Amino acid sequence: MKIIIYDIEITPILGWYYPPAYETRGVLTERDWHMMSFAWKELGKKKVYVKALCDYPGYKDDPYNDKALLQDLRNMLDDADLVIGHNSDRFDNKKANARFLFHNIEQPSHYDKADTLKMARAIGKFDSNSLNNLGKYLGLGEKVGSHAGLCIDCLYGNKKAWKAMKKYNKQDVTLTELVYNKLKAWAGTHPNMQKYRTDAEQVICRICAGINLSRRGYTAKATLWRQRYKCKDCGAWSQGTKGHKVKPYGDSTQT
């Protein structure tokens, strides 16, 4: 099972606009957005990887061509079983798909998705569900630098800006993993990861696919009582498949 955390960075759109007082603001798009970089890591592993436009051989001749970058992103996604991101369902995944289609790049194979923004919204009433606020509120850290200023400098080919952009991109991935690990046990809508452990005969955790679980009472589902389990690794709750018509007693808290 391969679990990936990733984050993308894109450019703004270059265009001509009337002042905000006018009803019609946009007049002409001179250059559409494109992808600048993406960073990723495997869940639980230390190394964070990043690829940016400036890393590719054709960058000097065509600094706006992101096809090779997108092809590498597609290959990374194609190799994943679960892909995690912050606001990735509305932004990263869809922006990536849009550029795949633009460049006629083959669609990645199916992968499960977990969005930490959706998880946070479903779990608690935070003042803000931004990655930066969640990181600070939960005592996990925060983002580095500012995307807006870096982006413009990168478009002008500033090498120091590109270096800072990569650092910014990588930190987003690191922070996303920390937030994910904090929230995942609470996530009721998380993809069921039990299907990735067909080798195990024991009860499997629905979140991390681990088998280090303890029995914690019973839960009623429809007309049957099922054994309830708590994962010792990630803290998530799962339930057994065997149902009882009458609530059992005696071994409900054994480990």
* pLDDT value of position 189: 84
Q: 222 is written with which tokens?
A: 């429809």
φ/ψ of residue 146, rounded to 5: -130, 130
Closest C-alpha to 63, from 52, 73, 75: 52
Block residue for tokens 């603001």 = 25
* pLDDT value of position 215: 84
CA 179 vs CA 71, 118, 200, 222: distances in Å: 28, 12, 28, 33
Domains assigned to the chain: 3-186 (3.30.420.10), 193-244 (no CATH)
Q: 31 is written with which tokens?
A: 């250059």
129 touches 35 (CB < 8 A):
no
* pLDDT value of position 154: 94
* pLDDT value of position 201: 67
φ/ψ of residue 200, rounded to 5: -95, 135
Q: How far is the C-alpha of 102 from the C-alpha of 17, rounded, in Å?
A: 25
* pLDDT value of position 82: 97
CA 61 vs CA 33, 57, 100: distances in Å: 18, 9, 22
Q: What is the pTM of this model?
A: 0.88
* pLDDT value of position 255: 42
Q: What string of pLDDT tens digits covers the 255 residues of the chain?
A: 899 999 999 999 888 888 777 766 667 889 999 999 999 999 999 999 999 999 999 999 999 999 999 999 999 999 999 999 999 999 999 999 999 999 999 999 999 999 999 999 999 999 999 999 999 999 999 999 877 789 999 999 999 999 999 999 999 999 999 999 999 999 988 999 988 887 766 788 889 988 888 887 777 666 677 788 899 999 998 776 665 555 566 554 444
* pLDDT value of position 168: 95
* pLDDT value of position 149: 81
Question: Per-residue pLDDT tens for 30-61?
Answer: 999 999 999 999 999 999 999 999 999 999 99
What is the amino acid identity at position 83? V
Block residue for tokens 């550029």 = 99
Which 3 state secondary structure label does DSSP give 59?
Answer: coil
Q: Are strands 82-85 and 14-17 parallel, antiparallel or unpaired?
A: unpaired
235 touches 250 (CB < 8 A):
no
Average per-residue pLDDT for the chain: 89
Over the range 35-69, which residues count as b (16 or more CB within 10 Å of their CB) and which as e? bbbbbbbebeeeebebbbbbebeebeeebeebbbb
72 touches 63 (CB < 8 A):
no
DSSP tally for the chain: helices H, then strands E: 6, 10
Question: Per-residue pLDDT tens for 87-101?
Answer: 999 999 999 999 999
Closest C-alpha to 3, from 175, 122, 181: 181
* pLDDT value of position 224: 76
